[in-house]
Amino acid sequence: MDSGHFTPGTGEHAVAITRVAERQWHAVADDRVVGRGDSSRRPDGRIFLSIDAWHCAAFDQLADAMLADLPKPLHTLVDEADLDLTSHWERVGFTTRRREWEYLVPTDPRVTGLGSVLPPPGVTIVAVGEAEEGPLRKLDRVIRDEVEATVGWQEMPAEVLPRPDGVTLLDPSKYAVAAQCGEYVGLVRLAPVTRQPRIGLIAVRSDHHRRGIAQALLAHVLGSLHRCGIETASAEVNESNGAATALFEGVGARRTSSNLELVLR
């Protein structure tokens, strides 16, 4: 257990920064914990930090201790609307790497305009939870290899990152797929979050792009939710992903917030 003492300034109590575990730090003043810092390593190797502190001095001291102990680059995620937290991270050297838009997606086909959308000829949609696990895992691997060869998985949300043991698809029951000639060619992942399900990933094999398969998958999933009485779903879209942005905004999805990934190199 490593510790250090810091005195923020005249009239303020000394703060002790202690590394209480491999991935946890505490800021203590007058025998009270006034801040906590945590680090976590994503499956792709990136290290993400989080700090919850009562005041700016404790935040800065925790950040200094964590940055001294951990290898760079380091990352963190913040709500873009939280200007104070964003400025804290920027003050210790972090800069914006990417932005993700949070969307609220309507499910009513009268709003989305997807009521008449059908899969392209020869393509069928297999409902959420009904896909065969073997062909689904094969498609997942193909799509992941294609992404890794282009933009890279560092651009993907945490829930779709590969795991250290090579397992890339944890729960097949959360997927609907598009099938053609006995093969799966596209997929959509739906997390059944209470009251507002989350669309975590829509992807189509590169040799089947520009055929309307992604739109058909979205139409199927949203239509199914609407028939179950669910009015909206949520989704995250990387700001640089023009195709996904056009897909969601084309069905009336509304931006509700944005998250920033910050990095210190």
What would the two tokens of residue 15 be?
């703060």
Supply the pLDDT for residue 42.
Answer: 80
Supply the pLDDT for residue 46.
Answer: 87
More confident residue, 150 or 69: 69
When pLDDT is averaged across residues 214-222 and rounded to a whole number, the result is 97
Supply the pLDDT for residue 165.
Answer: 53
> How much of the chain exceeds pLDDT 70, in percent?
87
Query: Residue 159: pLDDT above 80?
Result: no
Supply the pLDDT for residue 48.
Answer: 95
CA dist., res. 211 & res. 205, Å (int): 11
Domains of the chain as residue ranges with CATH: 2-71 (no CATH), 101-260 (3.40.630.30)
Of 79, 173, 77, which is closest to residue 133 (Cα–Cα)? 173
Contacts of 88-93 with C-beta under 8 Å, sequence gap 24+, read 88/51, 88/56, 88/59, 88/60, 88/63, 89/63, 89/262, 90/262, 91/60, 92/60, 92/63, 92/64, 92/67, 92/264, 93/67, 93/264
Model confidence pLDDT, tens digit, residues 97-153: 999 999 999 999 999 999 999 999 999 999 999 999 999 999 988 988 888 787 666
Query: Residue 166: pLDDT above 60?
Result: no
CA dist., res. 224 & res. 50, Å (int): 37
Query: Residue 170: pLDDT above 90?
Result: no
CA dist., res. 133 & res. 257, Å (int): 35
Q: What pTM value is reported for the model?
A: 0.81
Look up tokens 């009239």; give the residue. 11
**Would you say the C-alpha torsion 138, 248, 210, 99 has a positive or negative sign?**
negative
Of 116, 98, 13, 96, which is closest to residue 57 (Cα–Cα)? 13
Look up tokens 């009336």; give the residue. 252
Query: Residue 154: pLDDT above 70?
Result: no
Band of residue 39 on the pLDDT scale cut at 50, 70, 90: very high
Do the beta carbons of residue 169 and residue 140 sit within 8 Å? yes
Average pLDDT of the chain is 88
Q: Are strands 15-21 and 198-204 parallel, antiparallel or unpaired?
A: unpaired
Beta strands in the chain (DSSP E): 2-6, 15-21, 24-29, 32-41, 47-53, 74-79, 95-106, 123-126, 175-180, 183-191, 198-204, 232-238, 254-264
Supply the pLDDT for residue 168.
Answer: 61
What would the two tokens of residue 8 be?
């923020």
Band of residue 200 on the pLDDT scale cut at 50, 70, 90: confident
